[in-house]
């Protein structure tokens, strides 16, 4: 397994090996699926759209719909305006969405297609919408594309009518439907009235009913996106992902925002709950206190099995930072934390977490890749890996247990229904970590040392 990876590190300036990121459009597609009755549309050649639909379907095990401008060589030379026009007509005719959310690709960006002009030129049926965002694949990552699509919805739709709606906007970050449900649960328990954008719960975790519905019940309603401009404030969860769209809404409609980490682990969830409490002016109800107390209880109970264990965490920036914070709260050492998404703030924020916890010798890298992470591990191993599917080869090669969390997880089921955010999500992560480490002890210990009670 990964036998060709040498232990010796070498300087690389051009070759990306085993990336820990993918390109913008798939993030934009995911965000668009979180809007009710929305058809995501990929303005480029067919392959992009197919790749992205495949990837999302593999992660969620749910249909991921999207259309494509189906560029040919001609469109690449003369521009894709005609293709977009035909697409919009056909999509409204055949698939009857309320809204089409167009994102670009490296192809349409490189030839300089002007989506603003194209869309202005299209006859959009009464009461329907076409919005767009620019997602050149050669900038940022799928996280950037996710954020850009949210900004696209805001720029086209959000309106400030000066009559406040008493709500808080929640931009949940690049997380699973299970996480969005957990964030909403906490907001509901706090008595907050909110608009979440995007909201893929009820879309990418829709139930089996026996009849296929192209547009399941979930997703942010268009009128709610419009109303976001009238909200009291916005919570940008996951600073590196959600701050930009929150800022775009502030610029457009003057809605102030509070930016905070993804609520992964105790402190970050506390921050979210406190922010909700400040917003609603409601006291934190017992049910939330109970969950928090259960989490702390579990962390105390299980600590002998994870204390001072070293862990490598890879994946998307806000998710990795969140998990890093949690493992530090558990008394573990996040020896390597890596994201493929470029951006120095990741390194700074990771360092702040290390410093706050007083751990030394930990490395954070953005943008890094899994090949380099593997080389670090070969030189100085860790006890546990946390991240998506693409680390499974390292896990096997180095015989290190892997806890799957984040995106993409294309080799397991159920994960997208279950949260890693909130106290409940942290309880789940602690269980996954404990089970991984304790299963390992049961597997590796001498027969005479096998413990009946642990």
The Cα-based distances of 215 to 34, 226, 251, 402, 446 in angstroms read: 10, 20, 31, 35, 54
User: Between residues 133 and 234, which has the closer beta carbon with respect to other proteins?
Assistant: 133
User: Between residues 282 and 345, which has the closer beta carbon with respect to other proteins?
Assistant: 345
User: Between residues 105 and 151, which has the closer beta carbon with respect to other proteins?
Assistant: 105
Residue 178's nearest CA partner among 430, 433, 422 is 422
Shortest distance, CB of residue 159 to other proteins, whole angstroms?
A: 28
User: Between residues 335 and 415, which has the closer beta carbon with respect to other proteins?
Assistant: 415
**H or E stretch including 168?**
strand 168-171
Q: What is the 3-state secondary structure (H, E, C) of 184-224?
A: HHHHHHCCCCEEECCCCCCCCCCCCCCCCCCCCCCCECHHH
Residue 111's nearest CA partner among 25, 51, 53, 43 is 43
Shortest distance, CB of residue 19 to other proteins, whole angstroms?
A: 5
Could you list the beta-strand ranges (E) of 194-326.
Answer: 194-196, 233-237, 257-260, 310-315
Shortest distance, CB of residue 65 to other proteins, whole angstroms?
A: 7
Shortest distance, CB of residue 247 to other proteins, whole angstroms?
A: 21
Shortest distance, CB of residue 203 to other proteins, whole angstroms?
A: 12
Shortest distance, CB of residue 243 to other proteins, whole angstroms?
A: 21
For residue 369, list its beta bridge partners. 19
Burial class (CB within 10 angstroms; exposed 0-12, middle 13-18, buried 19+) of 190: buried
User: Between residues 217 and 307, which has the closer beta carbon with respect to other proteins?
Assistant: 217
User: Between residues 45 and 310, which has the closer beta carbon with respect to other proteins?
Assistant: 45
User: Between residues 127 and 207, which has the closer beta carbon with respect to other proteins?
Assistant: 207
The span from the CA of 258 to the CA of 179, in Å, is 19
Shortest distance, CB of residue 246 to other proteins, whole angstroms?
A: 24
DSSP 367: T
**Region of residue 173 (left: phi > 0; alpha: psi -120 to 50; beta: else):** left
For residue 87, list its beta bridge partners. none
Residue 149's nearest CA partner among 181, 180, 104 is 104
């Amino acid at each position: 397994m990964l036998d060709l990876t040498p232990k010796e590190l070498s300087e690389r300036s051009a070759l990306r090996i085993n990336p820990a990121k993918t390109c913008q459009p798939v993030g934009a597609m995911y965000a668009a699926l979180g809007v009710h009755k929305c058809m995501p549309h990929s303005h480029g050649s067919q392959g992009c759209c197919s790749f992205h639909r495949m990837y999302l379907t593999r992660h969620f095990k749910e249909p991921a719909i999207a259309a494509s401008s189906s560029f040919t060589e001609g469109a690449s030379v003369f521009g894709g305006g005609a293709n977009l026009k035909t697409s919009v007509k056909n999509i409204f005719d055949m698939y009857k969405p309320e809204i089409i959310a167009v994102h670009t690709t490296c192809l349409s960006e490189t030839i300089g297609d002007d989506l603003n002009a194209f869309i202005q030129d299209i006859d959009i049926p009464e009461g329907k919408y076409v919005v767009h965002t620019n997602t050149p694949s050669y900038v940022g990552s799928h996280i950037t594309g996710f954020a850009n699509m949210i900004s696209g919805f805001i720029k086209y739709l959000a309106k400030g009518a000066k009559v406040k709606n008493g709500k808080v906007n929640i931009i949940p970050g690049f997380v699973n439907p299970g996480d969005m449900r957990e964030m909403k649960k906490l907001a509901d328990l706090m008595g907050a009235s909110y608009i979440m954008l995007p909201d893929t719960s009820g879309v990418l975790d829709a139930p089996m009913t026996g009849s296929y519905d192209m547009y399941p019940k979930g997703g942010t309603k268009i009128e709610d996106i419009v109303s976001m401009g009238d909200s009291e404030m916005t919570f940008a969860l996951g600073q590196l992902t959600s701050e930009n769209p929150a800022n775009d809404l502030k610029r457009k409609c003057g809605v102030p925002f509070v930016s905070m980490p993804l609520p992964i682990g105790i402190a970050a969830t506390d921050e979210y709950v406190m922010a909700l409490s400040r917003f609603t002016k409601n006291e934190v109800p017992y049910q939330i206190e109970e969950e928090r107390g259960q989490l702390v209880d579990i962390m105390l109970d299980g600590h002998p099995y994870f204390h001072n264990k070293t862990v490598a965490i890879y994946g998307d920036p806000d998710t990795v930072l969140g998990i890093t914070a949690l493992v530090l709260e558990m008394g573990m050492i996040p020896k390597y934390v890596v994201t493929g998404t470029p951006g120095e703030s990741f390194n700074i924020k990771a360092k702040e977490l290390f410093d706050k916890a007083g751990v030394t010798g930990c490395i954070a890298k953005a943008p890094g890749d899994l090949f380099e992470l593997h080389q670090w591990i070969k030189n100085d191993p860790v006890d546990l890996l946390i991240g998506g599917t693409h680390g499974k080869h390292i896990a096997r090669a180095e015989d290190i247990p892997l806890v799957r969390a984040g995106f993409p997880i294309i080799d397991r089921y159920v994960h997208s229904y279950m949260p890693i955010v909130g106290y409940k999500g942290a309880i789940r992560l602690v269980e996954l970590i404990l089970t991984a480490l304790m299963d390992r002890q049961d597997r590796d210990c001498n027969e005479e040392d096998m413990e009946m009670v642990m």
